[in-house]
A and B are shown apart, each in its own frame.
Chain A
Amino acid sequence: MHIHISTQDGVPIYLQIVRQIRHQVASGILAPGRELPSIRDLAEKLLVNPNTVARAYRELETAGLVEKRRTSGTYVAEGPSPLARREKLRVLSERVDGLLAEASQMQVPLEDLVDLLHQRARALAKKPSLQNPEDHAS
């Protein structure tokens, strides 16, 4: 599991961990049933306070994205979680918000932006190799 921590933008570290794991679960990089690293191991790997990792895991557990198993560690929740769709939309919403903000700064009207989305979707559909932007990005 790859997580990148930045201390540049003022986002609390536990929140960075929560967001990146959420994103990896929603996009399928972390499959259901997959075991997450132990709190101590992840803390040592990221060089962050173990309490910070524990807090991130607690939030993910409360949100139903991961589950603690009694005898062992923390796992990505099994099965089609009722939250999965909401999670995906939530992750996408963040991206869309950024896009809208940028479009507004460039004074591109919303209708043009929607047209552009359709246009790009058609263009991407013709190039199967680019259909999975997540793989493309990593």
Chain B
Amino acid sequence: MNQHILEIHDLKRSYGKKVALDGVSLSVPAGGVFGLLGGNGAGKTTVLRHTLGLLAAQSGSVRVFGLDPVADPVGTLARIGYLSENRDLPDWMRIHQLISYSQAFYPNWDPDYAESLRNLFELDPKAFVRSLSRGQRARAGLLVALAHRPDLLILDEPSSGLDPVVRRDILGAIIRTIADEGRTVLFSSHLLDEVERVADRIAILHQGRIQLCARMDQVLSGHSRVQLRFSSAVSHFPPAGIWIHSEGSGHDWSLVAEAGIENIRAEVARLQAEILSVDPMNLDDIFVARTAGKPLAAGVRA
């Protein structure tokens, strides 16, 4: 039994000259919530589409439940629930048709669960998919993704553009899904507040590369903002070593460290500087420090 639900190794993907994924490696362990973070165009959807077998790896490998999703779509897709970013649903169907249509694809479809979700989400069985509001459409997509109780639930930007009430539904569904033992959720988002709430682990994808992949608590405790004062003015302080981001001028600099306090003290002493403050950072700040001002080299190289 493979203990990783998803394993991606050195995955590369180009669209023409544009490099979308530049050697992505990821392991998603079974159970828990894995958050894939990145700005627009970072490559999140491309990673998810490989996971679903919708794209074949140009180089590198993708294994879901230990299987190649392109070679064995039946063995993988039956165990995956997927909510796409565009909520692709057949517009011409009514809700009750959508439910029976989707049921036909999944041997493990649970009609009672589907009905309870339909009630919870207040979806009118006679309503046409095309007439649904944005929020109701997301709920209908979520119903289809959940009702066969998948081992792996994949949500691409699940709450993008939705009001807080629908966002609560979706976060609640993620939480209930993993509260049922052993299930795994992989979701992409740029809403860092909800990622911080629900994810056990995160990966930050930036310009086709994984910048960081770790447990959420380690991500938060592993980064600090350090204000320091140099004894003599410094005109240029590029990030290196434990420092992953820097801004400032002259004597006063604000740095982001990926290190424990002991290492920070040692480094600052070596720089002959004085620590003014060391503060914890939220995921938002860490994300910015990890992705801002990175050279474009990887993303646009032919």
Contacts and interface: CB of A to CB of B under 8 A. Distances in A.
Contacts, number: 60
Interface size class of A (residues with CB under 8 A): 10 to 19
A13 B215 CA distance: 13
B18 to A, nearest CB: 33
B193 A7 contact: yes
Nearest to B283: A7
A7 B280 CA distance: 12
Nearest to B176: A44
Contact of B200 (A7, A44, A51): A51
A11 B279 CA distance: 10
B280 A44 contact: no
A47 B220 contact: no
Nearest to A38: B179
Interface stretch (B36-44, B167-175, B243-251): B167-175
Contact of A44 (B33, B172, B199, B220): B172
A14 B280 CA distance: 15
A115 interface: no
A8 B282 contact: yes
A10 B171 contact: no
B196 A47 contact: no
Interface in B269-302: 279-285
Interface of B: 32-33, 168, 171-172, 175-176, 178-179, 192-194, 196-200, 216-217, 220-221, 279-285
Given A10-B285, A44-B175, A47-B172, 16 more contacts: A7-B192, A10-B279, A10-B282, A11-B280, A12-B216, A13-B196, A43-B179, A44-B176, A47-B168, A47-B171, A48-B198, A49-B32, A49-B178, A49-B199, A50-B179, A51-B178
